[in-house]
Structures are given as C-alpha cells and as structure tokens.
Chains A and B, each alone.
Chain A
Amino acid sequence: MNKFSWYEAKSVEDALEQVNSTLSDELYEPTQKASVFKSGGIDVFDWVKEGLLKPQKIINIRNIPGLDQISYDRKEGLHIGSNVTLAEIASNPEIKSQYLALHQAVNHAATPQLRNVSTLGGNIAQRNRCWYFRSADHDCFRKGGDRCFARHSETGENENHAILDNGTCVSVHASSIATALMAFNASVVIANAEGKQKTVQMDDFFVSAGEDIAMENILQAKEIITEIILPPPSKNTKSAYIKQVARESYDWSLADVAVVMEVSGNTCKSASIVLGAAAPVPYRSVEAQQAIESKTINSDNATAAAKAAMTKARPLSKNDYKVPLFVSTIKQTILEIA
C-alpha cells in the first residue's frame, strides 16, 4: 500500500472538484497521480492493498450529506441514495414487500460485516473479480496488457468465468445486486462537475468489454453516482432472485438470476430476466424473456425459457458446467414467481 492523502468531501460538488480519475482509468493506465472516490472502501482498498492502485489522494464520499436516504412512494417508486449501505437495504420493509428480488440479492451479497459498510453506489461500480485481473503479476487486457490469461484453452483457470458475451474479456461482473436492479429496470442518477445530472437506465450504465476494455460502466472521472431509482411496481409485479455459490456463508456468484414479471393469474404478461456471473456485465436475457412472455408459468415453459437463455452460451475450457447450472437456476427462479 502506498502513501496517499485523504480528503473528506463535504458535498457532491466538493467531491467532484477534487476527483481527477476513476478506478478504471487508473487500473488501465496507471499515473499514480489519481485522486479517486472511496465510499464503503471495500473494492478501492482491495486494489490499493494489491498494489495495483496507487492513488495520490483518496476522496472520502462516504459522509456526504443527503446520499444515505431510502424513499419509497407508490407513484415515484424507490429511490436509494448511493451511500445507503447494503445492510440498510436488507432491513428495509418496503423493499422486502415491493422489490423482493432486490431484497434477496442484497441479503445474499457478501457477509453481514461487509453489508454493514458496503454502499449501493460502490457495489454497482466495483470491478470484476477475475483473479488474473486482480493479480499484479498478470498484465491482462483490462490493465492495458496484451492478453487474456483466463481465456487460454489449456492454461486458463476460468471455472468462475463468463459463458456469454465473452469474446473480449471473460470476466464476470462482481455485483450480484446489479442483476436484481437491472431486472427491475432501475436507473442510475449521475451528477457531473458542471452541476448537471443525468439518469441512465441500468442496461446502459454497464459497458461491455467489446465497447471499451478499460471500463465496466460509463462513469467518467468527473462523475458521481448519487442515487438509484426503481420504478414503482404494479399490483401484478412479482419478482424472485436466486444466487448459486460454492460456499453459502459467503461467496461470489457462480450463477445468479433475477426475474421480475407482470403476471395475470399464472400467466406471464411481461418478463425481465437478468443473469449475473454469466457475462462481463449483468446480462439481460432477451431470449428467456421472449420465451416466457404470454405463457403459463409452469415447469415446461420455465425450462424452455431457461434453455433459450443459453442458446448463445459459449463456455470456456473449464466452465461448461455453468450452462446446466444456469438452466436450472433460471428455471427455479421463474417457478418461484408462480
């Protein structure tokens, strides 16, 4: 860990004035002059401890007033400030009753201790956990290097890696909460240094590796997430979330699925189905959505949708098990709705 200075940001404007880089930029092309944000600090300090991020200044945005509120309104939907902790989301009764899949995803994220300090903004902005990306001894594409170690058909240790959209980078996004957020068609509110705000759909917040290998989201240096908004559910909205992990106590997802449906009786009117740990960013399965829409929610149709989701799967040398694992998990998650 290098020496860095510490700045206690007093407001969003103050923070944006201080910041000059993003974690992504600094990992891709290290300047060692970066001033970067830290909220819960879980991911940023992991990078600092590995010696891969050597910031000049850490800007603590954790104590900025006003970013730590949850509000729910039947018409306005759910607003979650970027500094709200995962523990606060997990214990919020309205989120549990109105946005069950989000409640479930948050409850299965990390550990109770980590949920007490992790913030929602930091969670969706964290970088992937590919062990090559996180190793100072492996200079991969995402760090400006010339290869993907994980992809290698003989030596790549890719059992935890992507089976979809894995043409450029084979990592999987680390946020399993984002899986649920995207399924709820959440949007991200981003403020910039000019004092402007923009609201971006979750689907557009994440950046595929093919678009920009340095980035996993659209955040630029002078931008900050202020809140996440989930549209209000209807009476007929139902949701479910399942995460598969090697260790139930605490683990990164091997396959997680969020399903949000508008139902009429036992029929799916419309579906939003998102897969986590399948691709470099949370993956909306249009194929699965189409397969289940207007259908009765039953085992056969759920299986058909699950299989449809995997038609484009291209497993690597050591992760072909993820295909049947996703088929089973998508099916189970859809059936939870019924």
Chain B
Amino acid sequence: MDTRKEKFPYGIPGHNLSEVEREIPVEEPPVWPINDKLKVIGKRVTRIDALEKVTGKAIYTSDIKLPGMLYAKILRSNVPHATISSIDISKAKSLPGVHAIHLIENTPKEGEENSTGKYPMVKYVGQPLAGVAAESLEIAKEAVSLIKVNYEKKPFVIDLEAAMELNAPIVFDAPITKQQDGGDVGETHDGSKGEGNVRGPSTSSFFGGPRGNLEEGFKEADVVVERTYRTQVHTHMPLETHGVVVDWNADVMTVYASTQNTAAVRNEMASVFNLPKSKVRVICEFMGGGFGAKHSAGSFGPMAANLAKKTGRPIWLMLDRQEEHLAEGNRPNSIQYLKIGAKKDGTLTGIQQRSHGTAGVGLGAGVGRIAQILYTCPNFATEQYDVLTNAGPGAAWRAPGNVQGAFGLEQAIDEIAEKLNLDPLSYRDHIDTSEVRKVERQRGAELFGWSRRKPAGSSKGIVKKGLGVGQSTWPRFVSLDSSVEIKIHKGGGVEIRSSVQDIGTGTKTILAQVVAEELGLQVKDIKVNIGDTFFPVGPGSGGSVVTGSITPPTRNAAFEAKTALLKLVAKKWETDSSELVMADGQVNHKTNTDLKMSFKEATKLMRTSQISKIASRSDDYGGFQQPWGLAYGDLGSVQFAEVSVNTDTGFVKVDRVVAAHSCGRPLNIGQLESQINGGVIQGVSYALYENRVMDNSTGHMMNANVDQYKVPFSMEIPEIETVIVEEYSGRSSTDAYGIGEPANIATAAAIANAVYNAIGVRLYEIPITPSSILKALSKVS
C-alpha cells in the first residue's frame, strides 16, 4: 500500500492541542484542520429530514402499503413453560378473509436443545407460535384468537434469585449455544458451563482476564467498600415497534424493515430461506428507534416471509406494544457484588466483582467491562453469571452490561472517596488516567456548579437537594465492513449511497455534511440514499460504531470523486488538478483568480453521465490496539445530576443534568446534543421509573403497555446541558466517533450518588421509588 505522511491535530483544543504525524494511504484525502477552521463540519446543521419527520411525511415501515398486501398477526403463548400437544387451526382457517396460517415447527439444528415434539417447547409468555395472514389486521387478530393451543404445562421460574436455587424448575436442560440478538460484546460465554439455570461465569473481556492478586490487593487496602447492587429489567420501548413488510417475488425478496442493521437482516433472511444475498433487498428509510433491540430479523421476519410465500402476496407484519414488551428484548437485571479496596492516599488496590442477571431465555446478562477498565487498579477479577428464567429474551440495550455495571461501580467509588474524606470529583482526578475525562470533569463541574455541593444529608427541610457525579467509558469500536458510493451527476447533483441505516440519530445529515465539506457545497446540495442493501454495505447501528465507521469512507469516496472531476477541469484549464480547490460551490485555481467555474459547470465537462466512486473503511491511522483489534482511545463521559428528594412522600425529582462527553471530532453539535439528551432521559427513566413487573405465580408481565410501564414524559425530564469536548487523535480522514451508548451509561449512577448526597442514606437498588426512599429513611414501619 502506498502511503504518505501528514501531520494531524492531536489532543483537546484549549487544553493540550498539538500535532501528530500519521502515515496514511496515499489515496485518502489530506488532513482536516480542527472544526473551528471548517465550514460545515462541527456546526449546528438542521437534520436534513427534520421537516419530513415533524410533518408526518416520513414513511416508516408500518406506513408501507403495497398492492395486494395482506396483514399478519402472530399468535403467542400465554403460558410460561409448556410442551404443545396440539394446535387446532380449523376455526381460524375458515374465518372469511384469512389467507394463510403458518405454524412454527421444530427444525432441530445442531447445537440447539433437542426437542422431540412437533412444536418448539414454550419457554416464556409471549413466545411466537404461529402467524396468520388476512385481508385486514382486525381479521388476522380475530383469527389468532380462534387458534386453540393445547399445552402440557410445566413448572416455571421467573424470579432471578428463585431461578438460582438448585431445586428451581429448569428452563433449559441442555447447553444453549445461541446468543440472543445483539447480546453484549465481550461478555458472552457459550452457555455450556454452569449448573441448573446458572450459566457461566464470564471472567474476561477483550480487555483481558483477571489481573494481579486480589487477596494481596485487599491486604494492602486501608479502606474497603463491599456492597451488593441491584438493577431491574428494563424494556426498550422504541416508539416504532419491531416489524417488516415482506414483498417476495420471483426475482427478489424485498424486506422493508424497522431495523438498526439492514445488512444483518439481509444476511439472516438469505440464510433462513437459502437465497443468495444478492436476491434479498432490505430497506429502512426511516427508523423509529431501536436502542439495541433491532439488529435482527427476529422471528417476525421469517414469519412474514413464510406467509408471503404461502400467499404470493406482500405481507405487513408489525408488532404491537404488548408483543414488544414480552418478546422483543430487554436490558437484563442484575445483582452485583462489588468489593473495592484503596490505600489511604486513594490508590486502588483491588476490585472484585461478581454478578448474576437474567436475560430470560437468552444469554448476555453480564455487567460489562466498566469495573475492569474505568480506573487503574492492579488487582481485578470478575465473575459474571447468566441465569436462565422463563421470560422473554434480553437484547443489546445501549451500552449492554455497562449501564448496570456503572450503577454499582460509580457508587462504590463515591463510598471510597467518602471514607477517605475526599471530594468524589477530585478523588476521580486521582484514580482516573483519562485526559479527556479530566477536561470533562473540569468543564462539567464549572457549568454544573459542583462547588455548591454540601456534605451528604446536610440539606435542610422536607425537600432535600443533592448533587452527584458518575463517569463512564466506552470503546471506540469500528466496523471495517463499511463502504459508501458517491455519485456526481453530470449537470449537478451529488448522491451518497450506502446500506447503513439512520437509526434516528441523524446519520443521513452527518454524511451530507462530510460530503458538502469535501466538495465545497452546501448540505442541501447532497442527496442521501441510505438504508438499502442494494447499495454498498454499511455497519449496523450498534456499539456506537456508525459515525466512526462510515464517515471516513464517505469522505474518502467524495475525495476520489472530487479528484476525478478536478482532473477534467484541470485539463480544460491546462493546469494540474492539485492547483484546484472546491469551495463555496465553485472550482477555483489556488493562485490564478481568473480561473473559476461553478460546480455545476464543472460537472458538464464529464464524458459520462456520472462519476461514481466507492470507498471502504481503511484501518485506523496508526493501527489498532493489539491484541484486541480495537481503535485507540475511548469515549469517556462525566455526568452530573442534581436531585430533589421529598423526605415526606419519597418522591425524587431530577432537576438538572450536566452531561460532559467526547466523541473525537464532533460533526453536528445539535444532533450530538439531541443524542445526549436521549441518553440522559433514558438514564433518568432507568434510575426512577421503568421496571418490568412480572407476576411470579403466572409468569405474565403485568405492565406490558405504555400506561403502567412508566417512561418519563415532559415533566419528568430534567434540564439537560451538554459539554462536548473536541478530542483529536488523527485516526481516520474524519477522526469522528459516535455518542449513542456513552450518553446512557453514567446517568443512573450520578442520580444515585445525588440521592445519597441529598438524604445521607444510600440506595443500592433501582428504580428508586417513593417506596424505596421511605424505607431507606425508616418511614415505613
């Protein structure tokens, strides 16, 4: 590979900005200066689809209407554990308007539990059993209600701790190898180890395994904090439910999907139906939220395709809110034991972590890597166990595991600081080596007014005020399977094409910004066509990878297209293309001011109707951290929370959150703020409101709706202010990274620390409710 050397901005403006020399592929564009010197990048650019969205014109999957389309509904189990002896579909079949019924039957695969019956064993309430396609959704629903399932019920277990007991009903009596949709990266194990319903433990991540010697570490400690923390099951609740519209004709299966991973859905459907990937087209133009639960075609994707096959008609299959809660993912709960030791000077000497959590019938209930890597500590070990229960499978949920882990770790760190009589913020300066979090602590504390913080429990009156802080880290994941096509059309018009989807955070807009910056155009001049697997493959929206993965190839492809166009202009002007620049919609000669031409005129020089360039994500400049293959650096955050606690009624109100974040080179300040707001709101919700309530006697979820499953509305949302720290590291042609997951990790921990500061009693369990506050204050007899 031919390379050249360039100097890149390095570090944090206003703090330690310097330069670093990188060797980069010769075909990649020259370095961008810091955002101050750019025109479109790093600015507040209104999202390009804002008007379509707020006027209701944006077409989401559920809006798709095709000629001859039928509506489908899934029949789900209403018992938590059973074998199915028979299914009677006669009544449903004869209902007028019903076109097809598809039953899910056993197709034993290698490595999966051997099930001898005709139908898969029922393992949770809400498990899909069959699907009906009919002329209307109402008919399909009625037909589903007419299907009679004969169950042979089996004992079941719902509660995490009950499932850990040796005599508990067994959820799976064989090893399970299938990781459910999007479980946490790095914390998974194969589910084959363990006894009863307890599987694991996972003791390592891609950051390695245990370190040092815990026993020695705790011996050296002058102070030790040893606690158990509990977090609840949290369901995703995207506004748009899961679902697809499948249009399967002789040539191609088109799947309109509400998905955060068009390419993965394409691969799954191709694999299930034994089709070449070229004959499956997945389209997601607008996306109504996923939060990690929409990486897969699920069971509804194949169900819709089977019904399409049986009827020869397009099938609309969107889930309802109840199905969403029961079967389409959740953040597993946790019981986390944490022991931390420190010397008098604050130096950490040991961190021991042991966790149990249940992702229902799935795996992936670990508590992440945050205790392993956030602070320097020579002695560390973790054991993270999965416990199987008869409940819907968990799924990745905005920083899987790490949100639970941060809730424990960041409270324990505060307790250590208190034992050492240190301010929790300055204590973190002592034990945290991250330069970016140091700046975030400084700038965040100033905006937040951390100096107002008083000793815990010293707030006077019935309503007590408290301030707290929590930190987080998230890796800079990059997907190298990311590519983009840029087309410049003769006579004007620039187009971006990739299968990457916009999960709703504004991916379309940042891609347009990158191309506009490179071509000296305006964002409105760029047409973004993404979310279609007929275009070059892009990454899934998971792991906060999208921005870091897809913006460099976008810039690279735009640069290649620009270079091709400039060569034509250079030929006409009899000069060298390196003497030409594109800016303000013009092609200009660097020195000869007489030579200028509009971008549109320039495109008329093209011999063919378009210039098309495809670029892929190259390796990070400077390589990857070995042996893990991760990008260098992290996505650090520090969040500050201010709460009011009514000590008479037990109600907690989060008044204000200051969220200080970094994501390399920020691309669009407004969109970043929106995404951080979203993460903070979900964090507030996790700390105070949301909780999946299961009845242990029937195995049913009692609040599988929007009425009793409490997400915050406008009045519950605090004042949120963001601090975005620019951090340059010269790792790609854009040097930009995502913010999705970091925005959600530290909030609940910061709130818990603030509640402690307010009332002087620490809560080790979320959600924090009037009941838990009044109990903590000994006001409940």
B656 proximal to A (CB < 8 A): no
Find out whether the CB atom of B649 lies under 8 angstroms from the CB atom of A328. yes
B454 proximal to A (CB < 8 A): no
| Chain A residue nearest in CB terms to B702 | A131
A48 proximal to B (CB < 8 A): no
Interface of A is mostly: loop
Find out whether the CB atom of B698 lies under 8 angstroms from the CB atom of A137. yes
Interface residue ranges of B753-781 to A (CB < 8 Å): 769-771, 774-775, 779-781
Interface residue ranges of B704-749 to A (CB < 8 Å): 707-708, 710, 712-716
CA distance A325 to B78 in the complex (A): 36
For the complex of A and B, list the 8 residue pairs with the smallest distance between their C-beta atoms, beginning with the closest. Answer: A249-B713, A321-B771, A328-B648, A155-B697, A249-B715, A248-B715, A131-B702, A155-B696
Residue from B695, B702, B769, B781 in contact with A320 in the complex, judged by beta carbons closer than 8 Å: B781
CA distance A250 to B713 in the complex (A): 8
Q: Which residues of A contact B781 (CB under 8 A)?
A: 320, 323
Q: Which residues of A contact B689 (CB under 8 A)?
A: 246-247
| Chain A residue nearest in CB terms to B462 | A328
B32 proximal to A (CB < 8 A): no
| Given A135-B700, A155-B697, A323-B780, CB of A247 within 8 Å of CB of B771 | no
CA distance A154 to B695 in the complex (A): 10
B693 proximal to A (CB < 8 A): yes
Find out whether the CB atom of B716 lies under 8 angstroms from the CB atom of A321. no
| Chain A residue nearest in CB terms to B138 | A1
Chain B nearest CB, measured from A199 CB (Å) = 34
Find out whether the CB atom of A131 lies under 8 angstroms from the CB atom of B708. yes
A254 proximal to B (CB < 8 A): yes
Chain A nearest CB, measured from B320 CB (Å) = 10
B535 proximal to A (CB < 8 A): no
Interface string of B273-288 (1 = CB under 8 A from A): 0000000000000000
CA distance A323 to B780 in the complex (A): 8
| Chain B residue nearest in CB terms to A154 | B696
Interface string of A137-180 (1 = CB under 8 A from B): 11000000000010010111101000000000000000000000
Find out whether the CB atom of B650 lies under 8 angstroms from the CB atom of A138. no
Interface string of B123-142 (1 = CB under 8 A from A): 00100000000000010011
A132 proximal to B (CB < 8 A): yes
Find out whether the CB atom of A157 lies under 8 angstroms from the CB atom of B780. no
| Chain B residue nearest in CB terms to A324 | B779
| Chain A residue nearest in CB terms to B713 | A249
B145 proximal to A (CB < 8 A): yes
| Given A247-B710, A324-B774, A325-B649, CB of A137 within 8 Å of CB of B715 | no
Residue from B125, B138, B695, B771 in contact with A155 in the complex, judged by beta carbons closer than 8 Å: B695
Number of interface residues of B (CB under 8 A): 36
Find out whether the CB atom of A247 lies under 8 angstroms from the CB atom of B696. no
Interface string of B672-689 (1 = CB under 8 A from A): 000000000000000001
Find out whether the CB atom of A321 lies under 8 angstroms from the CB atom of B715. no
| Chain B residue nearest in CB terms to A244 | B649
Chain A nearest CB, measured from B495 CB (Å) = 41
| Given A244-B649, A320-B780, A321-B650, CB of A249 within 8 Å of CB of B714 | yes
Q: Which residues of B contact A93 (CB under 8 A)?
A: none
Residue from B78, B702, B769 in contact with A157 in the complex, judged by beta carbons closer than 8 Å: B702
Find out whether the CB atom of B713 lies under 8 angstroms from the CB atom of A321. no
Residue from B138, B697, B712, B770 in contact with A254 in the complex, judged by beta carbons closer than 8 Å: B770
Find out whether the CB atom of A159 lies under 8 angstroms from the CB atom of B702. no
B651 proximal to A (CB < 8 A): yes
Find out whether the CB atom of A137 lies under 8 angstroms from the CB atom of B700. yes
Interface string of A117-134 (1 = CB under 8 A from B): 000000000000101100
CA distance A99 to B710 in the complex (A): 32
Chain B nearest CB, measured from A112 CB (Å) = 11
B703 proximal to A (CB < 8 A): yes
A-B contact pairs, 30 of them (CB 8 A): A1-B141, A132-B695, A132-B702, A149-B697, A149-B698, A152-B697, A154-B696, A157-B694, A157-B702, A159-B771, A246-B770, A247-B689, A247-B715, A247-B716, A249-B712, A249-B713, A249-B714, A250-B713, A319-B771, A320-B781, A323-B780, A323-B781, A324-B649, A324-B774, A325-B649, A325-B770, A325-B774, A328-B648, A328-B649, A329-B649
Q: Which residues of B contact A249 (CB under 8 A)?
A: 712-716
| Chain A residue nearest in CB terms to B651 | A244
CA distance A157 to B696 in the complex (A): 9
Q: Which residues of B contact A51 (CB under 8 A)?
A: 145
Interface string of B637-657 (1 = CB under 8 A from A): 000000000001111000000
Find out whether the CB atom of B780 lies under 8 angstroms from the CB atom of A321. yes
CA distance A335 to B694 in the complex (A): 39
Residue from B648, B695, B713, B769 in contact with A324 in the complex, judged by beta carbons closer than 8 Å: B648
Interface string of A53-89 (1 = CB under 8 A from B): 0000000000000000000000000000000000000
Residues of B within 8 A of A (CB): 78, 125, 138, 141-142, 145, 648-651, 689, 693-698, 700, 702-703, 707-708, 710, 712-716, 769-771, 774-775, 779-781
A314 proximal to B (CB < 8 A): no
Q: Which residues of A contact B715 (CB under 8 A)?
A: 247-249
Chain A nearest CB, measured from B645 CB (Å) = 13
Residue from A2, A131, A248, A250 in contact with B703 in the complex, judged by beta carbons closer than 8 Å: A131
Chain A nearest CB, measured from B77 CB (Å) = 11
| Chain A residue nearest in CB terms to B772 | A321
Add 16 more A-B contacts to A135-B702, A138-B695 (CB < 8 A): A1-B138, A1-B141, A129-B707, A131-B702, A132-B695, A244-B770, A246-B769, A250-B713, A320-B771, A321-B650, A321-B769, A321-B771, A321-B780, A323-B781, A324-B649, A325-B649
CA distance A134 to B695 in the complex (A): 14
A17 proximal to B (CB < 8 A): no
Residue from B693, B700, B713, B775 in contact with A138 in the complex, judged by beta carbons closer than 8 Å: B700
Chain B nearest CB, measured from A60 CB (Å) = 20
Find out whether the CB atom of B649 lies under 8 angstroms from the CB atom of A248. no
A212 proximal to B (CB < 8 A): no
| Chain B residue nearest in CB terms to A251 | B710
Q: Which residues of B contact A154 (CB under 8 A)?
A: 696
Q: Which residues of B contact A324 (CB under 8 A)?
A: 648-650, 774, 779-780
Q: Which residues of A contact B648 (CB under 8 A)?
A: 324, 328, 332
Residue from A137, A247, A319, A323 in contact with B712 in the complex, judged by beta carbons closer than 8 Å: A247
Chain B nearest CB, measured from A12 CB (Å) = 32
| Given A246-B710, A321-B774, CB of A157 within 8 Å of CB of B779 | no
| Chain A residue nearest in CB terms to B141 | A1
Chain B nearest CB, measured from A138 CB (Å) = 7
| Chain A residue nearest in CB terms to B777 | A324
Residue from A138, A254, A320, A328 in contact with B698 in the complex, judged by beta carbons closer than 8 Å: A138
Q: Which residues of A contact B769 (CB under 8 A)?
A: 159, 246, 321
CA distance A154 to B781 in the complex (A): 19
Q: Which residues of B contact A319 (CB under 8 A)?
A: 771
Find out whether the CB atom of A2 lies under 8 angstroms from the CB atom of B649. no
A318 proximal to B (CB < 8 A): yes
CA distance A317 to B648 in the complex (A): 21
Q: Which residues of B contact A247 (CB under 8 A)?
A: 689, 710, 712-713, 715-716
Among A51, A132, A135, A325, the most chain B Cβ lie within 10 Å of the Cβ of A325
CA distance A137 to B694 in the complex (A): 13
CA distance A135 to B700 in the complex (A): 9
Interface string of A239-253 (1 = CB under 8 A from B): 000001011111100
CA distance A154 to B780 in the complex (A): 19
| Chain A residue nearest in CB terms to B158 | A155
Find out whether the CB atom of B695 lies under 8 angstroms from the CB atom of A149. yes
Q: Which residues of A contact B700 (CB under 8 A)?
A: 135, 137-138
Q: Which residues of B contact A246 (CB under 8 A)?
A: 689, 710, 769-770
Chain A nearest CB, measured from B577 CB (Å) = 59
Q: Which residues of B contact A132 (CB under 8 A)?
A: 695, 702
Chain A nearest CB, measured from B241 CB (Å) = 16
CA distance A244 to B652 in the complex (A): 12
Chain B nearest CB, measured from A57 CB (Å) = 18
Interface string of A219-260 (1 = CB under 8 A from B): 000000000000000000000000010111111001000000
Chain B nearest CB, measured from A305 CB (Å) = 15
